[in-house]
Chains A and B, each alone.
Chain A
Amino acid sequence: MSAVARIWARMRTSKTVVASGGILFAIALVSIIGPWISPNEYLTTNFDNILRAPTASAGHVFGTDDLGRDLFVRTMMGVQVTFVVAIVASVVSLLIGVLYGATAGFIGGRVDAVMMRLVDTLYATPFIFFVILLLVVFERNLLLMFVAIGAINWLDMARIVRGQTLSLREREFVQAAQLIGVSTPRIIFRHIAPNLVGIVIVYVTLTIPQAILIESFLSFLGLGVQEPQTSLGKLVNDGTKQMEGASWMLLIPGVLLAAILLCFNFVGDGMRDLFDSRRSQ
């Protein structure tokens, strides 16, 4: 845990990381609490009250959509989906990517060649067609979309971790462990993995925006989250249809999406700088 503690201490010293992290935390908190205290439901339609502009007095702070549904609750629901995507993407790329990459890099030779050619093959597969096919053959659901996003996210991670492991493997402390008689899985866990923490954390924060964008993109195409559920990408899609008459339907989720992406990118960049400065010291 010491590595994590040190990273935490470093993170707190960077203003960008603290500010961006704070904004993300605030958005997440509001997205959980907001729908709970709001008097409106995400799927209640009200045809007397369609395309109402945002006002505080009428109880619809973000306005309503073309079916009269409250946009605040729907936007917050979209934010939740976005964060879930972020968590799933990072967990999947962490678990599969790190283990796969570390194993390939440490064992090396033919095993490495075969494992990495598989990654190359998956890279070369046209991902969108792959997802469309999946969604057509199986029923469209959230889980499937997460699987699809996870499936491409771990590829980058595996490559990065493999490269790092290749250089770690040549370090003398690994040879020292081999001489002592430490078993290979133990070397990977005790000696390789802790030294990957830095690069992995940085990379995870940088893949999260990518995953969020993919989800928004799929939802925008109508392949992602299905009605009456929603996500930020889908809200933006709906907004574009009404952007002449009801610009708030596009602007509010759009700005939120951009803010979340920017914050994740800032956190990622800040972390990368922190780790670079540690290396150069």
Chain B
Amino acid sequence: MSLLDVNGLGVRYADKDVVSGLSFGVGSGESVGLVGESGSGKTQTALAIMGLLPGKAAISGSIDFAGTEIVGASERQLNTLRAERIGMVFQDPMQALNPYVPIGKQLRRVLLRHGISDGREVDQRVMHMLDRVGLPDPARQFRAYAHQLSGGMRQRVMIASALLAQPDLLIADEPTTALDVTVQAQILELLERIREETALLLITHDLGIIAGHCERLVVIEAGRLVEEGPTRKLFSEPRASHTRKLIDAAPRLDGDSPPAPESAELVLEADNVSVSYAERNERLQLHAVMDLDLQLQAGETVAVVGESGSGKSSFVRAVLGLVPMRAGRVTFCGQEVAGPLQARSIETRRDLQLVFQDPAGSLNPQLRIERIIAEPLTVHAPELDAKARSERVADALQRVGLDEDLLGRFPHQLSGGQAQRVAIARALIVNPRVLVCDEAVAALDGSVRQQVLNLLHREQQATGLAIVFISHDLAVVRSISHRVMVLYLGRLVELADGAGIFRHPRHPYTRALLDAVPVPDPLAPGGRLSISGEVPSIIDPPSGCAFHPRCRYAEQRCRVELPLVRPVGEARVACHRAEELEL
């Protein structure tokens, strides 16, 4: 018998259907993946099951949960259901936790709701649960506030909070989208472990996650069911073209890296760049980036990869002049450029452009798209008249594959993929030599992500644009990177060409990043855990090799002696044991 039975569910806002005629079920103890691109109605479905849709949403059809009808149920019934039988984990744990209440106290409330009022017992059960979800030192975390935990830890707390109620069904809505790949692998592993006690409805846009963790798949598009079936069957013989498209769009680790660029003209060079941030009235110096080098040739793509806290953003922002360098020099086309942005010549500023992670945040919400794209021209080509300017805008728009009727719109009227293309068009309109993409595709759906990567690749072929591509996910950069730099805690751990690093990683950390990538293949799903824990704080970095506390190959030497970057084979690696390890 099904635990959850969704039958002909429809959700309607004003005159827009976001979900229509959707039917699927979740058996008790089963794990089901609900897959679709953004805007396909996944989250609306989850909210409908939780009875959390806003009042202005019109709901039709039926949602039967273990004999209780959820559609049209009273708030009182829903509260009981939510408190005792259905748990939910949201995408952004920071939003879901109360920032003013210590997490132990928040979790305690779950048990109090269940009529367990003995203070000692409550605290013990909370701490036991925190321990079970893998929170180190539960007694201390019990008193911690949400902002003192990392993203992965917060998500563990959310899962603990859901599990304390011993629900029959746990709904996880994109639980790992905001997290690093390595942490994602850990959270998925945790969800796998708790499967014994609850059914799981995992909502995601990433088929790689689903492949290894769900027995059955429900694929939806534009609020309608596309296909449903056992995971393996759907992957091996998808019936619907949309399923095929989703599978193809998921990033994979196999395949070729692009051939090396023909020219060898050095465009951008950074030597020994270090970045420090002053904390607590300048008494404490946090070393975010230490002695990093970068050589970038025309037509080349260099990927900078690492978990959050690895210093990848600080590094490129220092090179661009957005944050001050403590030491180091930057050379552009053979000429040294000043550190701070304001001191740089207008030509240098034109030739180095940046695309941000969050497309919506990097576009001024009050300006129309036309003015956003044209803005660089007002600075770098003020001599253009209105006609010439709109020609350039139209040209830039065409290069990124957007339609001209978008020009009159405002940023909030665009989809994520469109907004990111607008941001790229704004960067490309002045024909820069170097484009830095800071996690530029991390917020996008699989298929849109691929389109944007293709667009960057095409642009590079046509104009010899040099690209620095920052990502926490090695799979994303595989298809476009000529060389890959892997950073850990502000230092280089491995630098190798694209083909080499994916076939033969030489640093245990690179290996771990590759292992963590969830691959859309149920028979070899990836997403394995070869490292535990998270990036340590730069306030108190580990001695010796910064990676040693998480490294399974660490020996005494690694704990005391800092490994220097040295050539190993074709690559440059900072590991004492690089030659002897078989990774």
Contacts and interface: CB of A to CB of B under 8 A. Distances in A.
Nearest to A281: B412
A194 interface: yes
B364 interface: yes
B376 interface: yes
B53 to A, nearest CB: 15
Interface string A170-187: 011101111111110000
Prevailing SS type, chain A contact patch: helix
Interface residues of A, number: 19
Given A181-B346, A181-B349, A181-B379, A176 B367 contact: no
B379 A180 contact: yes
Interface residues of B, number: 28
A194 B362 contact: no
A182 B426 CA distance: 13
B362 A172 contact: yes
A179 B320 contact: yes
20 contacts: A172-B362, A175-B362, A176-B356, A176-B362, A176-B423, A177-B364, A179-B349, A180-B353, A180-B375, A180-B380, A181-B349, A181-B376, A181-B379, A181-B380, A182-B375, A182-B378, A190-B367, A190-B375, A194-B366, A195-B365
A194 B366 CA distance: 6
B82 to A, nearest CB: 22
A201 to B, nearest CB: 13
A175 B354 CA distance: 10
Interface in A227-278: none
B350 interface: yes
Contact of B361 (A172, A177, A182, A194): A172
Contact of B366 (A3, A172, A181): A3
Given A178-B322, A180-B376, A190-B364, 6 more contacts: A171-B361, A173-B361, A176-B423, A180-B375, A190-B367, A191-B364
A173 B346 contact: no
A121 interface: no
Contact of B322 (A173, A179, A190): A179
Interface of B: 320, 322, 341, 346, 349-350, 352-354, 356, 358, 361-368, 375-376, 378-380, 410, 423, 426, 430
Contacts of A182: 375, 378-379
A172 B358 contact: yes
B317 to A, nearest CB: 9
Nearest to B350: A181
Nearest to B355: A176
Nearest to B423: A176
Contact of A195 (B350, B364, B379, B426): B364
Contacts of A125: none
A173 B364 contact: yes
A2 interface: yes
Interface in A22-63: none
Contact of B426 (A2, A171, A176, A183): A176
Contacts of A178: 322, 341
Contacts of A180: 349, 353, 375-376, 379-380, 426, 430
Contacts of B364: 173, 177, 190-191, 194-195
